[in-house]
Structure 1
Amino acid sequence: MHFVKKVPRTEEEEARNAKEKAKKLRTYCQLRDKINTKQRSDELDDELLELTGEILTKVPDLYSVWNLRRSVLEKLAEKKDNESEEEHLKRKDRLFSGELILTQSCLMTNCKSYCAWFHRGWAFSRIKSRDINHELKMCEKALQMDGRNFHCWDYRRLIAKIANLHPDEELKFSDKMIGANFSNYSAWHYRSSLLPVLFPDPERRIAISEERACLELKNMPNAFFTDPEDQSAWIYSEWLVSMCSRSFQVEAQPKLLSIIMNDEKTQIYATFNVAVCHTELSNNVNVEMEGDFDVHWMPIMRFPRTKFSRLWMATLKGAFRSLEVSNSSSEKYVKLASGGIVNVKELYRIYNVEQRDRNTELEKSVRNLTEQCRILIEELSGDQSPAALKWPVFTYTRCLIELDPAGNEETIIKNLRKLAYEYDPKRREMYREAEAKYLIDKTLRSTNNNGMRIIDELIKNGSLSLKDLDLSSVDHLVYLSSLITSLDLSGNALVQTKFLPMFPRLKQLHLDSNPLPSITDLKCPDLELLSIAGCFVSEVHDVDCILECDSLSRFIFCETALSEDNAKSESLRKIINENGRNIRLIRHWL
């Protein structure tokens, strides 16, 4: 078991243990051989049932033996010629009830044996005279011994389904388990699956009704202050707080975000809010061409052979005639000068651009939770280890992001960085990703010198600057990726360029002063200008692949090891000449 110190055995004990193991192995092999012999002879009888039972009590995880045993049981359960219906049902009940005794014995050997739990459910579902209360009590007893036994939780759900138990009864059971132990993560999880059934939101805007969500949030501080380091209640509260988010959706329905065409109208790009398959794409978008030309859509993803993607591309053969969007009646699209369309309202929602009503009861409950977290952080600061502050600071920050991201910018950034580098460094990338998402949202809702929102400027001219934000990821831009033609990522913390295929229309890219050791995975078919000034590239093979790009006309590599080495710079020029490219190499700033 975990955290139990092993006691070293003496030589005599080791010898005795080895002897016992050898004896068990001989017994196992003898039983296995007998079972195999009868199986080959197709002797599915009582003797085989006894043999499989004997071996399974010793080794409960032999799933092939359980499969064989079920075959034997199904044959033995068949109705006999001279048997009445009542006699047949009673005999079947006795037969399958015996499996409950066997599986209980197996679970005493290994309480987390998937095979044994599955077989118990299979047998119980075939018993007519079922003792539901006995099974529920058995589950409760098993969960009191180990509340994290998810096999047992699955079995209890099966019993509740067979017995048609009202979800309210199961909610009371989860209350009982949580009351006995706030650290019972599985009980909290079970609760989150029951509440949407018992208290659905009439508008289906959030997972449960606002009134119930407020009540749940009100009770959370009791668990927080009992054991601040336990994750169970904190993770449950994250589910509740997420309902306050503008981007929360009970069921994320596919929505078309944009249809964009390139300048030559030879390629068309469709972007969705969720990954969709080809069928879903075809149901939403219909492109008609002059003449007898079909439109073949291809997903744009980092991974080959993918069938689902947010971004799809089609190369148009022939003259473009018209574009139809099936859900245009329910979604308002803004037409672009280039001929494309954009669902601006949905993009605003995704990137938290517009302010929302902050006087709802749910918002007030989240605000109260924020204050409770602040009080707990003050109590824990100073005399606790950094790990104890992880969950309170995370939840406090999460609430601030939902309540007022613009007004709490300094606190949010400071807390995310403390979580990444002090309180929870093992999950550093998760917090860095959250910080990147927050900073991208902040940039997009900010305004330029003319008072225009950056996101509106991007939609209009395809240009976006995210300079000096210390971003480690720009994956959050995927919903805008087909709109972007010029992207400035200078002064960030990017270490690879695998994300760039999601920007298929990119023509200008600035990656200056990023800790990039290589750009060998950079693929942008329409790229005209690339700048990697101040990056960590040091060898010709770190960049030579980009020199094969047909559209590239300028390559800036100032302040790199390549620019400081005459031989390496000359090698780049030689590659360009050999490939017949017309690329201007910019080695030094003018």
Structure 2
Amino acid sequence: MASHGVPRHAASEQRSEGARQKELQKIQAYRDLVRAVNMQRAEQDYSIEALNRTSELLKKNPEYYTIWNTRRLILEHQFTMVKSTGGESRNDQLINIIKTDLQFLFPLLRGYPKCYWIWNHRLWDLEQSTLLLPMSVSRSFWQEELALVGKMLSLDNRNFHGWEYRRQVISMLEDLASNDNEGGSDEVSVAAQKSMAKAELDYTTRMIGTNLSNFSAWHNRTRLILRILNEQSASDEERRKMLDDELNLIHRALIDPYDQSLWFYHQNLMCTFDPALASGTMAPNLTDAERLKYLENEVEVITEMSDGEEDCRWIYQALINCSMIISRMEGGGGMSTGMKQQISGWVRELKRLDPLRQGRWLDLETSLKL
């Protein structure tokens, strides 16, 4: 068959050849750009033209980390030039350079939200504001950044790059606030007053409410709770109240028992009841009797959860984990026959449901002498 007198296969070949030539031209243009940027760096050309070329190249390939280093060298040169001139407009010029670079990064971050180098360079820009500008001006940069990362996480609330970046922004805002009180009589008290941990814990609650599978939010929660309790010099009673609240929260969340991130948080909470790990948890001073009572309740709750969810391997893993802690605490003559039988049954289910980890379950059987 032909179209306008041209065989279809020939037209296809022409289009393919045309596309190939366009692709070759793009590759050559990219190579020329890389060569030009590297040549300017070798010649220590730190002009605006050189900066614009790094912008052009990074838009094409934001993973090219050595070009980010080149860009920082150029920006450092600009900062030095501004500082050497002095004058009343000095700060305004520095602010403009930093703001312009942050604006350049934003569309890149939207397009490549998991590119480490973009987040890293953005953090470098903000650090320059702290080094070069008055504290009040620098703080405004960091506060605006907190709002921006909040928007980024609302678009992709499980982006672990964004969560780590948020922790760094929060840390700097706290440092800037604490510096306002240098020389205070009670440094611990001042740090607690300037802490944003409670607000961040509330933020994780909101994010979890939006998406229960938000592993990063659950992970951040574990760190924040310990920090809040320590900052408040919480009593054992207050710590136990926090523990109860978190257990209630995870039990409500486990309405979906197939969500792996929820079980990771549950496992973290179970460390509170393991005497070997309890010292680093939110309630380190529970008695053995209290720990056993909590664990027995967990086994009961999880067993009830398994009704109708017999194909959920996470349930069996949680039951084994709790039972093994109970066995270690009870000590004595080792694991009871009844508990061995229970665990043996759960392991059989795991071998059925998770054959790819067959070796792991066989090792568990051997270690427990099931």
Q: Per the shorter chain, which TM-score range?
A: 0.7 to 0.9
Query: Looking at CA atoms only, which structure, 1 or 2, has the larger radius of gyration?
Result: 1
Corresponding residue to 1:245 among 274, 279, 283: 274
Q: Report the CA distance between 1:15 and its aligned residue.
A: 5.7
Q: Deviations over 1:231-282 (max 9, x none)?
A: 011110001112211221546xxxxxxxxxxxxxxxxxxxxxxxxxxxxxxx
Which residue of 2 is the match for residue 516 of structure 1? none
Contact 2:347 2:365 in 1 (8 A): yes
Check whether the contact 2:143–2:173 (CA below 8 A) recurs between aligned residues: no
2:123 counterpart SS class: helix
TM-superposed deviation, 1:88: 2.2
Deviation per CA, 1:471-509: give whole Å up to 9, x if none. xxxxxxxxxxxxxxxxxxxxxxxxxxxxxxxxxxxxxxx
Who is 1:116 aligned against?
Answer: 118
Q: Which residue of 2 aligns with 1:424?
A: 354
Q: Which amino acid aligns with 2:314?
A: W
- How many pairs were matched up? 316
| Paired position in structure 2 for 1:76 | 78
Unaligned segments of structure 1, at least 5 residues: 1-9, 252-355, 440-468, 471-590
What TM-score, normalized to structure 2? 0.77
Alignment map for 1:113-152 (pairs within 5 Å) = 113-127=115-129, 128=133, 129=137, 130-152=140-162
- 1:100 Cα deviation from its structure 2 partner: 1.2
Distance 1:132 1:393, change over 3 A: same
SS at match of 1:209: helix
Distance 1:203 1:422 in 2: 47
Q: Which of the residues 326, 337, 342 maps onto 1:403?
A: 326
In the TM superposition, what whole-angstrom CA distance separates every residue of 1:544-568 from its partner, at most 9, and x where no partner exists? xxxxxxxxxxxxxxxxxxxxxxxxx
The 3 A distance-change label for structure 1 pair 410 and 202 is: farther
The answer to whether the Cα contact below 8 Å between 1:231 and 1:391 also exists between their aligned partners in 2 is: yes
Corresponding residue SS for 2:86: coil
Q: What do the CA deviations read for 1:192-235 (whole angstroms, capped 9, x no partner)?
A: 1211111249999x9x934322321122121111x221101111
Instruction: Look up the SS of the partner of 1:155 in the other structure.
Output: helix
Output aligned runs, 1:245-264, within 5 Å: 245-248=274-277, 250=279
What letter corresponds to residue 399 of structure 1 in structure 2? Answer: C
Query: Match of 1:192?
Result: 222
Task: Kindly provide the amino acid, as one letter, of the partner of residue 315 in structure 2.
Answer: P
Preserved CA contact (<8 Å) 2:37 2:50 = yes
1:62, distance to aligned residue in structure 2 (A):
0.7
Measured at CA, do residues 216 and 180 of structure 1 come closer, stay the same or move farther in structure 2, by a change above 3 Å?
same
Amino acid of the residue matched to residue 83 of structure 1? G
C-alpha contact 2:273 2:292 (8 A) present in aligned 1: yes
The equivalent residue for 2:293 is 364
Indicate how the Cα distance of structure 1 residues 214 and 435 shifts in structure 2: closer, same or farther if over 3 A, else same: farther
| Contact 2:271 2:278 survives alignment (8 Å) | no
Give 1:436 deviation, angstroms: 4.0
How far residue 404 of structure 1 moved from its aligned partner, in angstroms, is 4.3
More strand per residue: 1 or 2?
1
1:428–1:16 Cα change, 3 Å: farther
Q: Which amino acid aligns with 2:358?
A: R
TM-score, normalised via structure 1 length = 0.49
Mark the CA change 1:38 to 1:417 in structure 2 (over 3 Å): closer, same or farther: same
Change (3 A) 1:132 1:174: same
Across the aligned residues of Structure 1 and Structure 2, the Cα RMSD in angstroms comes to 2.9
CA change 1:62–1:409 in 2 (3 A) is same
Q: State the match for 1:222 in structure 2.
A: 252
CA distance in 1, matches of 2:168, 2:59: 23
Separation (CA, whole Å) in 2 of partners of 1:247 and 1:145: 40
* Cα distance between partner residues in 1 of 2:268 and 2:359: 21
Q: Deviations over 1:400-450 (max 9, x none)?
A: 22234634221112212321x11222233333444444x2xxxxxxxxxxx
Displacement after TM superposition at 1:19 (Å): 4.7
Counterparts of 1:11 and 1:415 in 2: how far apart (Å)?
Answer: 61
Is the contact made by 1:218 and 1:365 (CA closer than 8 Å) also made in structure 2?
no
Mapped partners of 1:22, 1:244: distance in 2:
63
Structure that is richer in helix per residue: 2
Q: CA-to-partner distance for each residue in 1:269-305, whole Å, 9 max, x for gaps?
A: xxxxxxxxxxxxxxxxxxxxxxxxxxxxxxxxxxxxx
Matches within 5 A, 1:173-212: 173-200=203-230, 209-212=239-242
Letter in 1 for 2:289: N
Amino acid in structure 1 at the alignment position of 2:300: E
Q: After superposition, where does 1:516-535 map in structure 2 within 5 Å? A: none
Q: Distance in 2 between matches of 1:192 and 1:15?
A: 57
Any residues of structure 2 matched to 1:334-345 within 5 Å, and which? Answer: none
1:422 maps to amino acid: R
2:19, 2:274 → 1: CA distance? 59
Residue type at the aligned position of 2:295: V
Percent identity at matched positions?
A: 25
**Contact 1:178–1:187 (CA under 8 A) maintained in structure 2:** yes
Contact 2:273 2:294 in 1 (8 A): no
Q: Where do residues 428-443 of structure 1 align in structure 2 (5 Å cutoff)?
A: 428-437=358-367, 439=368
In structure 1, distance between residues paired with 2:247 and 2:364: 23
Partner residue of 2:49 out of 37, 47, 50? 47
Q: Which has the higher contact order (CA 8 A, sep 6+)?
A: 2
Counterpart of 2:346 (choices 384, 404, 415) is: 415
Match of 2:308 in 1: 379
Per-residue deviation at 1:20?
4.5
- The answer to whether the Cα contact below 8 Å between 2:51 and 2:74 also exists between their aligned partners in 1 is yes
The residue number in structure 1 matching 2:30 is 28
CA distance in structure 1 between the partners assigned to 2:218 and 2:125 by the alignment: 29
Counterpart code for 1:430: R
CA distance in 1, matches of 2:289, 2:271: 17
Distance in 1 separating the partners of 2:27 and 2:122: 26
Question: In the aligned structure 2, how far is the partner of 1:126 from the partner of 1:150?
Answer: 24
Change in 2 beyond 3 A, CA 1:181/1:432: same
Rounded to whole Å, the distance in 1 between the matches of 2:247 and 2:14 is 59
Measure, in 1, the Cα distance between the counterparts of 2:306 and 2:170: 40
**For the Cα contact (< 8 Å) 1:244–1:363, is it kept in 2?**
yes
